[in-house]
Amino acid sequence: MSLKVNVEQQKEGTYVIRVDGRLDTETYVGFGEKIKQYLDESTKILIFDLEKLDYISSIGIGVIFQARKAIEARKGVFIVTNLQPQIKKIFEVVKALPEKPVFESMEEVDEYLDLIQKNELEKGIQ
């Protein structure tokens, strides 16, 4: 089975990466190349929507973990949402997910991002 990756820019510096299929030894290289351009300093928030991810291998987890490290190293926000139960279990076992933020839906992600923006705006006013 193949892997489809769709990247949507929500606004400047915020990207949603939607993954559909299997992230494994056959697809991880293409996946890594596809997301590489979003791991630079212009990306402030990177959201992985894994709703349609059916399977992930250890090497696939490694690619996502590297993306997380790259974003967090620049004080960016790394978010994972819509994990299927089997995928969530794998991430829990290898402790690859951040303690937060992992969300159940894109609506929860939007609420979280609104809160971040509100807090930043309040900091700027003070």
CATH number of residue 8's parent domain: 3.30.750.24
Number of domains in the chain: 1
How far is residue 81's CA from residue 101's CA, in Å, rounded to a whole number?
Answer: 9
The predicted pLDDT at position 92 comes to: 73
* Cβ neighbours around 55 below 10 Å, total: 16
Closest by CA position to 97, among listed 78, 114, 76, 121: 78
The whole-number pLDDT of residue 123 equals 67
Q: What is the block-wise mean pLDDT of the chain (126 residues), using blocks of 10 residues?
A: 91 95 95 94 94 91 92 91 85 62 69 67 61
Task: Report d(CA 115, CA 36) in Å as an integer.
Answer: 28
User: Looking at residue 126, what is its pLDDT?
Assistant: 54
Q: Which domain holds residue 68?
A: 3-125
| pLDDT of amino acid 118 | 67
- Residues 63, 30: contact at Cβ < 8 Å? no
Question: pLDDT value at position 90?
Answer: 78
